[in-house]
Amino acid sequence: MADLISDFHEGDLVQHAKFGLGKVLDVNLQHVLIHFRDDNQEFRKLAIGKSPLSVPEVQSDPQLDSLPAFHDGKFEGKSKRIGLDDAIGEFVKQFPKGFEDPAYAEQRAPRWAAHEQFEATLGGGLAEELLAANEVAEITQQAVALIGPTKLLSKFELIALRDGLGEAPLAKRFFGALLEFVKAPADEPGFTRLATAIGNLPATTPKARVASWPVLTILPFLARPDLFMFLKPEPTVAAALRLRFDLHYDPSLNWLTYHKLMTLSTLLLEKLRPHGARDHIDVQSFLSVI
């Protein structure tokens, strides 16, 4: 058991007999401040030498590695921290039967229907066949049609995507990158190809950019909700900060932000499965509520 000031350093991961795994935020001569991953409190101030703390051999944890910066006794941002148990409580307060609640099922239905529509019209190699036949307009029509009913994109975002796909050579490159990306779990080269392809689509409306996070993430999310997450920046970043998870958000399309988004979503899906969550559609809805 570690019990001396020299045993702890800012940034260390520590194990507590009661509170579990945590990260050292600050150390002084008498106390150590620790944020515990599965504790509802922001942090705990523990006396050195009087607390059952140990330093685990593995010094990495996806959630604790993504804590926001900590300065002057507080984390960056103004949002009040919420632990996962309390977050689930907020979700159940809105949907008393959780992910099986009829009101939630009604909210989920259009998004799952869009996934099924993608499978029926573009999945199973159909999109690849259309692309090989240069039927880019048909792919565009099918893609835009399935997005609309989900109401995940604003009217201007949907128009920006539709108009941006109006130039067939650039649209073909975009759909090629998209289809490659959704075949496997997200990786940086595939993301970069997709982000570059969408960045090359022409912007024809001044009210929305084509190269935005919602537009980039909508089709992977609807094509494979088992693997991919949708990013609506304002509510998602706010929810992540409440959970004390830093997405390193930047409005420019970058791999770090997307990687952090997928890390958070995957962690939450694992923790929410016992409560009935099935895929990243449920995670996205959960984050929107909290």
Q: Are 39 and 82 in contact (CB under 8 A)?
A: no
Measured distance between the N- and C-terminal CA atoms of the chain, rounded to whole angstroms: 37
- Crossing angle for the helix pair 188-199 and 255-272, to the nearest 10 degrees: 120
Consecutive H or E run containing 21: strand 20-27
What integer pLDDT is reported at residue 47 of this predicted model?
Answer: 86
pLDDT at 138 over 90: yes
Q: How many CA atoms lie within 13 A of 194 on its CB side?
A: 26
- Distance from C-alpha of 290 to C-alpha of 285, rounded to nearest angstrom: 9
- Distance from C-alpha of 39 to C-alpha of 85, rounded to nearest angstrom: 9
Instruction: Render pLDDT for 192-227 as a digit per residue (tens, 0 to 9).
Output: 999 999 999 998 777 778 999 999 999 999 999 999
| pTM for this model (two decimals) | 0.90
- Distance from C-alpha of 181 to C-alpha of 54, rounded to nearest angstrom: 42
User: Which tokens is 259 given?
Assistant: 């990687």
User: Which tokens is 114 given?
Assistant: 């869009």
Residue type, 290: I
Q: Are 91 and 119 in contact (CB under 8 A)?
A: no
Structural domains of the chain in order of their starting residue, each with its CATH number: 5-62 (2.30.30), 84-289 (no CATH)
Instruction: Render pLDDT for 219-272 as a digit per residue (tens, 0 to 9).
Output: 999 999 999 999 999 999 999 999 999 999 999 999 999 999 999 999 999 999
How high does pLDDT run on average in the chain? 92
| CA angle at 281 for the pair 279 and 284, rounded to the nearest 5° | 115
pLDDT at 4 over 50: no
> Of 52-56, 104-108, 161-165, 258-262, which gets the smallest average pLDDT?
52-56
Residue 170's pLDDT band, with cuts at 50, 70 and 90, is: very high
- Distance from C-alpha of 38 to C-alpha of 21, rounded to nearest angstrom: 8
3-state DSSP assignment of residue 278: coil
- Distance from C-alpha of 191 to C-alpha of 12, rounded to nearest angstrom: 32
User: Which tokens is 91 given?
Assistant: 């979700």
Instruction: Render pLDDT for 176-188 as a digit per residue (tens, 0 to 9).
Output: 999 999 998 889 9
